Amino acid sequence: GKPTGLEQSDRGLLKLWINPKSSNQMPVMSCALGADPSWGTGATPTCFSGFNAATGEKILEYVNANITPSDAAALYTALGWLFQDEYGNPAKLCWEIPGPGIPFGRKIIEMGYRNVYYREDEDSLGKIRDNKMRPGWMNVNAKALTTLMESYADALRYKKCLNRSKMALQETLNFIYTSTGIEYKKRGAVDDGAAGSRVHHGDIVIADAQAWMMVKALAKNATTGFASRIG
């Protein structure tokens, strides 16, 4: 779960929109990361996204359909440690649960990484079960997804954030409003009864939206003017 270095490759799965200071050192910054983990069977990808919390610019993207939750968690924490602010704090991490996000998140906590998103546990109707805080973002109901996605859509619409990933931006166009909330649909004519792809696809967009949620969380706790700028 600690970084050993970066190696440049034309076939590399990690994309950066930032210049590293060296193979194992990034510019000092407050960074926010979001993740949508998969089981690593090749069916759907594990996706990571990272934003510079001070500027709102996307700086990192990772997509891999063949990495296990345990290995993905080790890589995710290593990336978190690679980006540190002026006080030595690693990046703020968030990931989607349930599903593969459960063993993924458990591994992150086992490795001692603590700068993560904690939520109040909710049931399927959005009611708080207890007062305990648990790590990870729970995609438990339409309300949770709609809140996450509308915040990110607002950030894109009003240029509060900058996403330079063509693939990720194209994927946002597949999310639509239906009678039950926001869902993911394949391109083309669809209706509410169509047997198309649903919210568990569009994984890179989910990772982007979680990373933006962490940007807002960091800005809320900051003493700079950025908090007032993003609202």
Span 37-90, pLDDT tens digits: 999 988 889 999 999 999 999 999 999 999 999 999 999 999 999 999 999 999
**Average pLDDT for 159-180:** 88
pLDDT at 228: 36
Cis peptide leading into residue 98 (ω within 30°)? yes
What is the pLDDT confidence band of residue 112, given thresholds at 50, 70 and 90? very high
Report helix, strand or coil for 181: strand
pLDDT at 135: 85
Residue 193 scores a pLDDT above 50: no
pLDDT at 175: 83
Contacts 24+ apart (CB under 8 A), 13-20: 13/62, 13/63, 13/64, 14/60, 14/61, 14/62, 14/79, 15/60, 15/61, 15/62, 15/165, 16/59, 16/60, 17/57, 17/58, 17/59, 17/60, 17/164, 18/52, 18/59, 18/60
pLDDT at 229: 41
**Looking at per-residue confidence, does 109 or 194 come out higher?**
109
End-to-end CA distance of the chain, in Å? 33
pLDDT at 42: 87
User: What percent of the chain has pLDDT above 90?
Assistant: 58
pLDDT at 186: 65
Residue 21 scores a pLDDT above 70: yes
**Average pLDDT for 194-220:** 75
pLDDT at 83: 95
CA separation for the pair 76, 17 (Å, rounded): 17
Find the angle CA(168)-CA(136)-CA(129) to the nearest 5 degrees.
Answer: 130
**Looking at per-residue confidence, does 135 or 63 come out higher?**
63
* The pair of three-digit structure tokens given for residue 228, joined into one six-digit string: 């007032």
**Looking at per-residue confidence, does 112 or 43 come out higher?**
112
- In b/e form, how buried is each residue of 94-103, taking b as 16+ CB within 10 angstroms? bbbbebbbeb
**Average pLDDT for 151-172:** 92
**Average pLDDT for 3-20:** 92
